[in-house]
Structure 1
C-alpha cells in the first residue's frame, strides 16, 4: 500500500464522516437525507473509494442514535453498495446500488429498532426515497463533473 493509496482512502473517509456529522440532524433517522451519500458514486471512478466509504460510514455511524447496530450494519451496507457501484457498467447506474442496498439494509435496521411491524416497509421506503434524492440529485451530477476532470485526478479510472 502506497502513501497515495492510504491518503486517498483516508481523505474519502474523512470527508464522508465530516459531511455526515455536519448535517447530523438530516443524516440519521427513518427519514434521512445523508448528504455524504452523494460521495457513493466515487467507486465508479476509483476502487480506492470502496474502503474510504466503508471507513467513513463506520466513523459517522459511531454517532448514530441506533448505536452499535448502525456501525455494523450501516457500514456493511456502505461496503456492499460501494463494491456494486464499482461494478456498474454505466454512470447513470452508479447511484443505484447505494439507493437499493441502503433502502433494504438500513430500512430493515431502522424498522426493526422501532419495534412496529409496519415500520420495516415504511422505513425502507423513506430511506430509499432519501437515498434517491441525494444519490441521484447530488451524486450523479457530482459524478459527471468528476468525469470531465478525471485525467487530472490521480488514481481515477480513465476508461469510464
Structure 2
C-alpha cells in the first residue's frame, strides 16, 4: 500500500463518519429499522476506487462504535455491521456496473443487519429487512449516484 491509497481510504472513512454523525439527530432513520444514511451513498465508490473498500470498513466501524451509544445494539452491530460493509464493498468493487454494484450493500444490509436490528427493536424480521433494504437502496442509489458522478467529474479534471 502506498501513501496515496492510504490517504484516499482515510478520507473516505472520515467522510463516512462525518455523514453518519450529522444524522444522529434523526435517530431511527440513522440506526433503526429503516437506516436511510447519507454515508451509504459512498458504497458505490468501490466501483471506481479500490481504497474505498477499507475506507468504508473503517468508517463504518468507527460510526457503529459511536452509534452504539444511541442504538444499544452493541458489539454485534459494531463488528457485524462493519464486516457486512466490508464484504459488500469488496463485492461492489468486483461488480461490472452500477446496477449490479448496488446489490451487495442493499441485500447484505437488508438481510443480515436486520437480524440484530429486529431482535433489539422487537420489530418482526421481515418488516425490518424490508425497511433496511428500502432505506439502503434509496441511500445507495440516490446518494450513491450523486457521489459517483461527482467523483468521476473530479477525476476528469
State the 4+ residue runs in structure 1 displaced beyond 6 angstroms: none
How far is 1:150 from its partner? 2.8
| Alignment equivalent of 1:140, drawn from 135, 145, 148 | 145
What is the match of residue 34 of structure 1?
37
- 1:37-116, aligned counterparts within 5 Å? 37-63=40-66, 64=68, 65=71, 66-115=73-122
Task: Decide which moves more: 126-135 or 106-115.
Answer: 106-115
Structure 2: distance between partners of 1:130 and 1:11 = 24
Structure 1: distance between partners of 2:9 and 2:150 = 20
How far is 1:115 from its partner? 4.8
Task: Decide which moves more: 24-33 or 35-44.
Answer: 24-33
- 1:116-135, aligned counterparts within 5 Å? 119-135=124-140
How far is 1:151 from its partner? 3.5
How far is 1:97 from its partner? 1.3
Give TM-score, length-normalised by structure 1.
0.86
What is the aligned residue count?
Answer: 150
What is the match of residue 13 of structure 1?
13
How far is 1:31 from its partner? 2.0
More helix by share: 2
Structure 2: distance between partners of 1:115 and 1:142 = 34
How far is 1:103 from its partner? 0.3
Higher relative contact order (CA 8 A, sep 6+): 2
Report if the CA contact (8 A) 1:107-1:127 is conserved.
yes
> CA RMSD for the aligned pairs?
1.5
> Where does the alignment leave 5 or more consecutive residues of structure 1 unmatched?
153-160
